[in-house]
Structure 1
């Protein structure tokens, strides 16, 4: 079985876990390991002898034939791992060495059991819808125009709000006078969209969420639409420079750019081995969803 591993710089305690995890994989005779170029740069500094033993990948093409991608870190690390996997749809094992961990939900203490489960086939795969950005700028986001969480348009270089004229399948929807606008997937509904008042949407719901950022209208609220929709935008403001972001990647653009969002033709595949927290568990435990002392009162 061939394993790819991605991580990035971690705090000391977590870096020790990362190194121990790599040794655990390479000491298993049934496994072959490759590491990402980003991880290789980090590992070369903190554990050079281990680094010399490992094969490194830097492109999606080099991942052909890989059975699983393991991401060690937080949700941001897993989003980076997806930029390597792309259309290959390699199942991703998200091991949480970060804090919140909606996507990277497998606990560190369950790492050995997780490897056993992969080897023995004791796992399930959850498919997550992603979105893709359509633009007349081919180099936007380095050509990697898909995201698992959200696409965002934001004001830049000014304190003044912007206006985002928004269209749904070519039909005029609304002009948002705001600091920006977020289009989120269900996976991203617990991220930036949630922080601006968007709803939590269960993964697999086949929707997009359109959420304004600090709208200057009391009657403007987040809107849920089908993920079969094409959402397009025209941006205007006092300046001609704006910021667009896709998951953790962002770039400045000007008002002449053509932008639209639609469902990505491929999906993110997340591995569940039973060693992680389920979505609703994470909502309750880490976001205090439905927290009420009456739910825990002794009878």
Structure 2
């Protein structure tokens, strides 16, 4: 069997780097090649930051860090259908499949082929200004329209499949995948969606009208968004990684990406285990 090439994405943390060094040496002893990406870059302001794409032919990618590092790894892989495993340092993260002390057991299981992958939906986001395409991004968690600290409430017009939905007067608007429902959207009052549910979540941030509630639409929806009035200090962010300023001249179109992310699932672990641990749910068992 030719040597397997493993991607390794590491959080800029001394503990994570120390574990990454040891894991890389262990993988090399197993006959693997390692391509390592250190997640040192801070979030930028350009829609397409310079990042060398992941090489072709990766067997899998292991992420050592938190959910932010995981999102960076997803961006690095792009449309490559490479299985990806998250190893969380500290508290359990929603995107992590294994804890720090499980690194070698988890990676050994993967090298032995004893794992399955679950496709997780992504969103494709096009930003146009006067019909000119100015940004084209793919997000795993969410795309967010957010006002600055001193800006007025934003008036955001939303159409779904070219039919008018409503105007949101709010601090902002979140469009999230089921995976992203446990991120910013959850903090803004949105529901938790099981990742297998085929839908897109629309969550207003601190809406002025209390009847503007979170809404789940089908995953084949085409969502078009514009600022309905002249606004200043409004940002559009992609997975919290990069962002760009927008105004009433921009149109944002969001729809399901044809290319999902392939998350590695290890035996004996489910989404509801992570949910119960992260949200500290308790109660009796019957």
TM-score range, shorter chain: 0.7 to 0.9
Residue in 2 aligned with 1:17? Answer: 19
Query: What SS does structure 1 have at the residue aligned with 2:164?
Result: strand
Structure 1 residues 11-52: Cα deviation after superposition (integer angstroms, max 9, x where no partner) = x333322222222112212x111112x3599xxxxxxxxxxx
Per the alignment, residue 5 of structure 1 pairs with 8
The equivalent of 2:88 in structure 1 is: 96
User: Comparing 202-211 with 277-286, which one deviates more in the overlay?
Assistant: 277-286
Corresponding residue of 2:56: 64
Cross-structure match for 1:260: 253
Unaligned 5+ runs, structure 2:
42-50
2:23 match: secondary structure: helix
Aligned partner of 2:35 in structure 1 is 34
> Can you list the C-alpha shifts for 1:48-92, whole angstroms capped at 9, x where unaligned?
xxxxxxxxxx632x5111111111111111110111111111111
Contact 2:70 / 2:86 at 8 angstroms: preserved in 1? yes
The aligned runs of 1:152-191 (5 Å cut-off) are 152-156=144-148, 158-191=150-183
1:212 corresponds to: 204
Residues 1:84 and 2:76 are matched in the alignment: yes
Query: How much does 1:238 deviate?
Result: 5.5
CA distance in 2, matches of 1:85, 1:239: 35
SS of the aligned residue for 2:244 comes to: strand
Which of the pair has more CA radius of gyration? 1
> What's the offset of the Cα at 1:237?
4.7
Which has more helix, going by share of residues?
Answer: 1
Cα distance in 2 for residues equivalent to 1:59 and 1:7: 15
> Following TM superposition, where does structure 1 have runs of at least 4 consecutive aligned residues deviating by more than 4 angstroms?
none
Q: How many residues align?
A: 270
Task: Note the C-alpha offset of 1:157.
Answer: 6.0
Residue 259 to residue 129, structure 1, CA distance change in 2 (3 Å): same
Asked if 1:228 is matched to 2:220, the reply is yes
| Structure 1 counterpart of 2:67 | 75
